[in-house]
Amino acid sequence: MNALTVAYAALFYIATAVFVIGLASKIRCYLRTPAPLKIPTTPAPTTTTGVALRLTREVVLFESLFKSSKWTWLFGWLFHAALLLVLLRHVRYFQQPVWTPIVWVQAFGTYAGFVMVCGLAGLWARRFLVDRVRYISTPSDHLHLALLGAIAVSGLGMRFVAHTDIVALKAFVLGLMRFDLQPLPPDPLLLLHLSLVALLLIVFPISKLLHAPGLFFSPTRNQADTSREARHIAAWAAALEKK
């Protein structure tokens, strides 16, 4: 087994561990931190089902962002929807045989890569063109966009410009999952693509990418408006009553 394969295998094991453990510990932290007061942004649903629907609309349609800014919504939604298709398309590298739905998604997933790039370009343009967004943009914001953009472009490059050996790649990925290392094709574009994806996994739990789990724990969105019906007391607040 060559050194390159071992290095990339190690990189992906580490990146996956950082991603899973980092994200799990963040989520555990959110779960353990109490929300001592009812603070849903009203009008808010009064039932758990209503809350589930509200969160679903936020996750699927970006409802609040739509209310806020149509351009940001358009680029943001296109990017995320395309990213989802692209991710689903990539599931084929992790399974043999490939699920039928993943086969179906292939056609859309391939072209979704372009939509993803357009979405990212739109979002990035706002960071230069809108003075308010320019003011709040940090180096980290630009680097996140650069990272995602580079992943998308290198991926598209392999699909449409310089084909890589996807059969060997799939063998490598399946080998990773079965702890039976297979040689990784030494294609520079592929190596770049994989390195950037590993980097994305690693920064996820320590960056603003935490917006993904964050939404589900946001009290203004995940609480039902039942303050008059039910008490909502945190352990530390209940301790005050014993004083």
Binding interface with other proteins (CB under 8 A): 26, 29-30, 33-39, 41-46, 58, 62, 64-65, 67-69, 72, 76, 123, 126, 130-133, 135-141, 143, 206-208, 210-211, 214-215, 217-221, 225, 227-234, 236-237, 240
- Residue 97's Cβ-count burial label (10 Å; 0-12, 13-18, 19+) is exposed
Distance, CA of 3 to CA of 209 (rounded, Å): 32
**Shortest distance, position 175 Cβ to other proteins, whole Å:** 31
Closer by beta carbon to other proteins, 96 or else 138:
138
Exposed/middle/buried for 109, CB within 10 Å: 0-12, 13-18, 19+? buried
Q: How far apart are CA 169 and CA 204, in angstroms?
A: 24
Nearer to other proteins, 2 or 42 (CB): 42
At closest approach, how far in Å is the CB of 29 from other proteins? 7
Nearer to other proteins, 38 or 90 (CB): 38
Choice between 178 and 243, CB closer to other proteins: 243
CB of 112 to other proteins, least distance (A): 21
Least separation in angstroms between residue 78's CB and other proteins is: 14
Q: Minimum distance between the CB of residue 107 and other proteins, rounded to whole angstroms?
A: 29
HSE-CB for 14 with a 13 A CA cutoff: 11
Tell me 183's DSSP state.
Answer: P
**DSSP code of 229?**
T
Instruction: Reply yes or no: is the peptide bond before residue 43 cis, omega within 30 of 0.
Output: yes
Q: How far apart are CA 171 and CA 184, in angstroms?
A: 8
Question: Which residue type, as a one-letter code, is found at position 218?
Answer: S
Query: Which C-beta is closer to other proteins: that of 31 or that of 161?
Result: 31
Query: Please, which residue, 90 or 232, has the CB nearer to other proteins?
Result: 232
Cα separation, 3 vs 186, in Å, equals: 11
Nearest distance in Å: CB 96, other proteins: 36
